[in-house]
Amino acid sequence: MTRTPKTYDDLYAEAKGLIDIEVPLFTNLANLTALIKLRCQWFWVGFYEVINNELVLSAFQGPPACVKIPFGKGVCGQSWKLKESIIVDNVNEFEGHIACNEASKSEIVIPIYDNNQRVKFIFDIDHTNYGEFKLQDKVGLKKCLTLIEELL
Ligand code: SME
């Protein structure tokens, strides 16, 4: 599907309507992955949580995935280490990429920060096409993820 800034304005509005500050954080994470997967039809959408020295699989939608990722490893671990979003056009060309599912060809990962600017989660989306994610996806998704940061 073609995604435009409007796609993300709509997604943000819908996500904002789903967030409930009275329920556990996990409930909101799960509902957000469900919404994004449903609207964008991506292969895998999910969160990894920083727990001690590794990333641990949290709420997600899609096929089963790797449950633990060490600091600095894979795209997610690099994003945590660098404190930067990463867009990978071709996972085969990213050194150290962790292949949870061989159908994944491109991905985007975005760190989520707590109030102390520490990385608390890594948000990860995988696609079965190469080169699927662009700057506008990063911008639009980051805005949606501020809804989670506001809960931390
Ligand atoms: N490919 C990721 C691992 C997580 S899965 O894609 C769900 C990585 O290299 O960190």
Q: Using one digit for the tens of pLDDT, what is the confidence trace for 10-35?
A: 999 999 999 999 999 999 999 999 99
76 lines ligand 1 (CB under 6 A): yes
Question: How many Å apart are CA 78 and CA 1, to the nearest integer?
Answer: 28
Structure confidence by residue, pLDDT tens digits, 60-112: 999 999 999 999 999 999 999 999 999 999 999 999 999 999 999 999 999 99
Give the CATH number of the domain where residue 71 resides: 3.30.450.40
94 phi and psi angles, rounded to 5 deg: -100, 115
Best residue for ligand 1 mutational test, from 58, 82, 107, 109 (most atoms within 8 Å of Cβ): 107
Per the structure, the complete domain to which residue 112 belongs is given by 5-149
Nearest CA to ligand 1 atom 1: 98
123 lines ligand 1 (CB under 6 A): no
Residue 5 has a CB neighbour count (10 Å cut-off) of 11
- Measure the N-to-C terminal CA separation of the chain; round to a whole number of Å: 32
- The angle subtended at Cα 137 by Cα 13 and Cα 85, nearest 5°, is 115
Rounded to the nearest integer, the mean pLDDT of the chain is 96
pLDDT band for position 117 (50/70/90)?
Answer: very high
74 lines ligand 1 (CB under 6 A): yes
Structure confidence by residue, pLDDT tens digits, 36-57: 999 999 999 999 999 999 999 9
86 lines ligand 1 (CB under 6 A): no
pLDDT band for position 2 (50/70/90)?
Answer: confident
Distance 1 CA to ligand 1 centre (A): 22
- The angle subtended at Cα 137 by Cα 142 and Cα 22, nearest 5°, is 35
Please tell me the total count of domains within the chain.
1
The mean pLDDT of 129-134, rounded to a whole number, is 97
1 pLDDT exceeds 70?
Answer: no
